Structure 1
């Protein structure tokens, strides 16, 4: 019976050719070429696709005082905005549709002398909502080219570019009502939730001066929030020792280049890899959330297994003993450790 096969037929000469090609790939030179090709494909994906695959992470953290209403906090970090990054700007602008109760920005907004208008315009209506912020190194100084292998050394010498117009950005934020909590303790009420908060300048630059805000937060607050750009353990320890319920940070980029089943290669700070992004615990009572951030340095424009992200954190009441009134002489932090 005549007919055509669904599978191609190989000529007498085709199988030896395939075997020869396989033997070529098995040589050291062939393996190197295959590895180089795979690396090129991976770099193209990390630069052209994943770097722009913005994602919204959602998580719930039990940190509020018993009986409190829930509070929706939008955590934004590490925009590293360039003036021409329209895709990122449009994506950030749409975050206002989430209708967060509070916005917290943990720094590294800028990457260019002309980035301030782009940041302000992309945040848009979010600047009309209650907001808190601190700055990071790339609000103060422009990025510069670096050897990426230096990130594997925690003691490498830091090199900074030209000063950036962080004062203009601060003015734009504060004029719209956001609170700068750099080395300041502040209190505010949002959606019926009383918040005690404080922040430090960027520990990555060793600009943190925790002693300026040291001490337990107001015990009658429904939640206490510490804010820092880089999640350095020395700063996290101080917040935890003072009894803060939650600390928000950025800086790590979630590792930026991660491996499947392994995770981040580095954190670019003293924080351990297991806490490089997302929620975790710090000590007995403090919760930590590290944002993987939305950008990259223009000199390292890639992400792999680590999508750029913002986080919508729903704060809910924690399961802990009820607060004792101040008249009875017992603070909330004292009640927590009983």
Structure 2
């Protein structure tokens, strides 16, 4: 009876409280070229938005108060065929800030009920739901000035500094074609930034080999269910569990930042020891003391509200 009561309480907490505990993760990363001015980059991922998730929309919109220099969206914005207006409403104030994005599997296809064992014993077979209106979302983001980085390389000016950016389509669906963007980015840029939805090692290795400073990704949900003292149980990709969320080094020169995201599948609406999050990254020159020895990562609530879904 005690075990049953504990399990019931844990499930109630994971489904009723933690999945709505919107959290801001902050980190300082030494990835800019020498002499560059620091940049504030807001990383948003895995909204998995449903039309009626009003508090999530309000919380994301309030992130504009952080005044980032750049917004990076690494996909899985949608979870419903009628969610495009909700996503645009949530991102609305941030669309006035320079932004880049790629899409994830749940921008293209709606989620479907799945056996949880599929996450413990991964299969290459993909179960897709109905197609989602990702083209409508793409058009809305582009109309407001954000750049779709799907198999695109560009040089952007952010806060008066040149930023080399590139991205790939979702590796989780094997839609990535890194060859389309291969090659060393502009070495005169203050930052060489790559983005992808799923942080598959084959894609990260390609970015690192070309000399990128930082790659940003989502998809993992930070494990979504984490065991205190152990961490993520799974990452739902080939990335090792220790990198399921937050910042880490990839190779010698490149940094990786993985967002635990702000949503869940409507068929698995639980989080445990892994609150939904957005990330504010302060990027500084490489000569800045290493965050490994000078801790610069923290999590803190930002705003409040209860989701009605």
Superposition TM-score tier, normalisation by shorter sequence: over 0.9
Which residue number in structure 2 is paired with residue 300 of structure 1?
Answer: 268
* Residues 1:263 and 2:231 are matched in the alignment: yes
Which residue number in structure 1 is paired with residue 144 of structure 2?
Answer: 176
In 2: Cα distance, 1:318 partner to 1:181 partner: 25
Which residue number in structure 1 is paired with residue 50 of structure 2?
Answer: 82
* Residues 1:280 and 2:248 are matched in the alignment: yes
In 1: Cα distance, 2:81 partner to 2:71 partner: 24
Secondary structure in structure 2 of the residue aligned to 1:170: helix
**Residue by residue, what CA displacement relative to the aligned partner does 1:231-270 show, whole Å, maximum 9, x if unpaired?**
0000000000000000000000000000111110000000
Which residue number in structure 2 is paired with residue 37 of structure 1?
Answer: 5
* Residues 1:151 and 2:97 are matched in the alignment: no
In 1: Cα distance, 2:4 partner to 2:55 partner: 30
Secondary structure in structure 2 of the residue aligned to 1:63: strand
Which residue number in structure 2 is paired with residue 91 of structure 1?
Answer: 59
Q: Which blocks of at least 5 consecutive residues in structure 1 are unaligned?
A: 1-32, 321-338
Pairs aligned (count): 288
* Residues 1:46 and 2:49 are matched in the alignment: no
**Aligned residue among 144, 148, 164 for 1:196:** 164
In 1: Cα distance, 2:115 partner to 2:195 partner: 29
Which residue number in structure 1 is paired with residue 294 of structure 2?
Answer: none
Which residue number in structure 1 is paired with residue 108 of structure 2?
Answer: 140
Report 1 or 2 for greater relative contact order, CA contacts < 8 Å, sequence distance ≥ 6: 2
Secondary structure in structure 1 of the residue aligned to 2:192: strand
Secondary structure in structure 2 of the residue aligned to 1:316: strand
**Residue by residue, what CA displacement relative to the aligned partner does 1:297-336 show, whole Å, maximum 9, x if unpaired?**
000000000000000000000029xxxxxxxxxxxxxxxx
Moved over 2 A (4+): 154-157
In 2: Cα distance, 1:180 partner to 1:45 partner: 37
My pick for the range that moved more, 38-47 or 147-156, is 147-156
**Residue by residue, what CA displacement relative to the aligned partner does 1:33-63 show, whole Å, maximum 9, x if unpaired?**
3212211110000000000000000100000
Secondary structure in structure 2 of the residue aligned to 1:75: strand
Which residue number in structure 1 is paired with residue 27 of structure 2?
Answer: 59
In 2: Cα distance, 1:103 partner to 1:197 partner: 12
**Residue by residue, what CA displacement relative to the aligned partner does 1:122-181 show, whole Å, maximum 9, x if unpaired?**
111101110000000000000000111110122252201000000000000000000001
In 1: Cα distance, 2:155 partner to 2:73 partner: 17
In 2: Cα distance, 1:211 partner to 1:293 partner: 28
In 2: Cα distance, 1:55 partner to 1:279 partner: 16
* Residues 1:100 and 2:62 are matched in the alignment: no
In 1: Cα distance, 2:160 partner to 2:121 partner: 46
Secondary structure in structure 2 of the residue aligned to 1:90: helix
Which residue number in structure 2 is paired with residue 318 of structure 1?
Answer: 286
My pick for the range that moved more, 183-192 or 287-296, is 183-192
Q: Which blocks of at least 5 consecutive residues in structure 2 are unaligned?
A: 289-309
How far did 1:193 drift? 1.9
Which residue number in structure 2 is paired with residue 127 of structure 1?
Answer: 95
Which residue number in structure 2 is paired with residue 291 of structure 1?
Answer: 259
Higher fraction of helix? 1
